[in-house]
Amino acid sequence: MGVPAWRLASAEVAGAWGRQGGRGQVAVCGPDEDCLTLAWTAADAAIAAAGLAPTDIGGLWWGTTRPPFAEGPSWSHLASTLRLDDDTVGAVTAGSPHAGIEALLSAWDAVAAGTVDVALVVNSDALVPGAGSGFEPACGAGAAAVVLTQGEGPALLTGRTSRWMAALDRYRGDGEAETRDHYDGRLVRDEVFLPLVRKSGRSTEFDQAATRWSLPDPDGRLGAAAGRALGVDTDRVASTKPRQALGETGAAAALLGSVVALDSPGPVVLVAFGGGRATAVTVDVDEAVPGSDVAREALAAPGTPASYSAVLRSRGQLVPAGDSVEMAVPPGSAMFVRGNAEILGLLGGRCVDCGTVAFPPSIHPACLSCGGDKFDEVALARTGTVQTFVVNHAMPAPFVAPLPLVCVDLDDGSRVMFQGAGTGADLEIGQPVELVLRRYAVERGVPIYGWKVRARGGSS
C-alpha cells in the first residue's frame, strides 16, 4: 500500500469557502509525492511481501486516472524505479477511475494466457479536484498493489462481470488540470451509478452472509447507497475504513477497499466504477495474503495534518508570482536519457580497483578515491545511517525551504548524498535512515524523480 504523508480535514476545506460542516479527512500528496511515488511504494511492498526479486516480475500493469506524463514514459519510469528487467511487458491503463480494475483484469488475462508467469498490478491515484467544488472535501489519494501468479496461492481470482452506459459522470476535459464534479449529482446517482453497480454486483455469485465487499464511494455517501442497492449488510462492507481514512482514491479505490478483507479467509467482491462503467471481481481468500497486515498498519498511520493553503500549493492550484529557477539541463537532454536508468534504478558504479562506489556513475567517469576508470554496476542499498547533513533555509522556487541535504553511509558501504524528506528537523548524525522515491520538481512540464532520505520506518 502507498499512503500519502498529508491529511486534510474536510471541515477546513468547507470553512475556506464559507460553508458549514465537513466531516472526516482525506489523504493528500505532499509537494514531492504523486501517483508514481505512491505506486512505487505499494509495488515495492508487494514484491517484498511475495518474497520475490524484481527480476522475477514478468509483467507490470499500472492503473491510474492520470499518469504523471499525459503522453510519455510513465510506465517505464515506474518500471525503472522498481528495477524490473528491460524485457518486462505490461501497460498503463488510464482515463477514468475504472482504470484500476482494467489493469487487474489485463494482468489476470496475461497470466491465464501464459504471456507472463508473474504479474505485478499497481493501482494508484492522486486526483486534483476543482477548488471550491463539491468533490474537493472528498478527494484523496492512495495506492495498492498485488502480485498474480499461476497455480495455488493464498487467494484466487474467480470471476468478473461488467456493465456500462454512455453517460457522463466525473470527468476532465482535454487540457484541463482539474477533475470536474457531477453536473447533476442526483441524476448520476439514480440513473448511472446505482444501476451499473447493482447490475455488475448482483451478477456475481456470492454468499450474502460470508462475502466482504469493496464498494465504490465517490462522495462519502454513495458507498452506503450501493450497499443498500445490493442488499449488503453494513458490517460486510470492508471498504468503509480505507474510504474514511484516505478519501476517494479514484482508480485505486477498489483494490484499496479490499485490503482489510484480505487478511482472513472468505469470499471478497471488488466493485469499481468510473467513466460510465462498473465491474465486479470476485476473489476467494483461503488464508491471509502476505503483506495485508503491513497494509493495515499503513492505513492506520495518522499522517501529518496539512493546511488547505499548503494543499493548494502542492496541487499547483495556488502558484506564487514571479519567475522560478529552471535547471540548466532540459529533461529531454542526453544527460537524462543516459542517466535515468542509474538515477531512477538507484544503480551505482563500484570501482574495480578500490571498491569505491560512484553514484550516478555516468556523472563520475573517474573514481573519486583512486582515479580508476573501470566500474561494475551495482544496485545500491536503500538503508543506511546519516554521516552528516545540512538544512537550507533559503531556496528559490520551485524548491521549498527548509530543504535538507543528507550524506548517507549506505549499508553496502557506499556513501551518497540526497535531499531529505520533510524539513530535516528530525535528522541526527548516526541515525538509521532509508531511501524513498520522491518527485523533486516538475521541469518544463516533465516530472523529475529521485530518491530522498527519511528516518527508517518514517512517514514523511
Judge residue 101's burial from the number of C-beta atoms within 10 Å of its C-beta, 0-12 exposed, 13-18 middle, 19 or more buried: buried
Q: CA 63, CA 91: separation in Å to the nearest integer?
A: 9
**Cell numbers that stand for 357 in this block:** 562506489
Report the pLDDT value the prediction gives residue 7, as an integer from 0 to 100.
96
Judge residue 444's burial from the number of C-beta atoms within 10 Å of its C-beta, 0-12 exposed, 13-18 middle, 19 or more buried: exposed
Length of the chain: 460
pTM: 0.94
Q: CA 439, CA 30: separation in Å to the nearest integer?
A: 10
Report the pLDDT value the prediction gives residue 353, as an integer from 0 to 100.
93
Report the pLDDT value the prediction gives residue 151, as an integer from 0 to 100.
84
C-beta of residue 270 within 8 angstroms of C-beta of residue 280: yes
Report the pLDDT value the prediction gives residue 460, as an integer from 0 to 100.
67
In the block, residue with C-alpha cell 496461492:
153
- Which domains are assigned to the chain? 6-314 (3.40.47.10), 334-455 (2.40.50)
Q: Which residues of 316-340 are buried (b: 16+ CB within 10 A; e: fewer)?
A: eeeeeeeeeeeeeeebeeebbeebb
Q: Is the peptide bond before 360 cis (omega within 30 degrees of 0)?
A: yes
In the block, residue with C-alpha cell 506524463:
69
Report the pLDDT value the prediction gives residue 325, as an integer from 0 to 100.
72
Q: CA 129, CA 178: separation in Å to the nearest integer?
A: 5
Distance (Å) of CA 354 to CA 368, 370, 372, 377: 10, 7, 8, 14
**What does pLDDT average to in each consecutive run of 10 residues of the chain (460 residues)?**
94 89 89 97 96 97 96 96 97 97 98 97 96 92 96 92 95 92 92 96 77 93 93 91 94 95 93 96 94 91 93 90 73 83 92 91 87 92 96 81 94 92 91 95 89 84
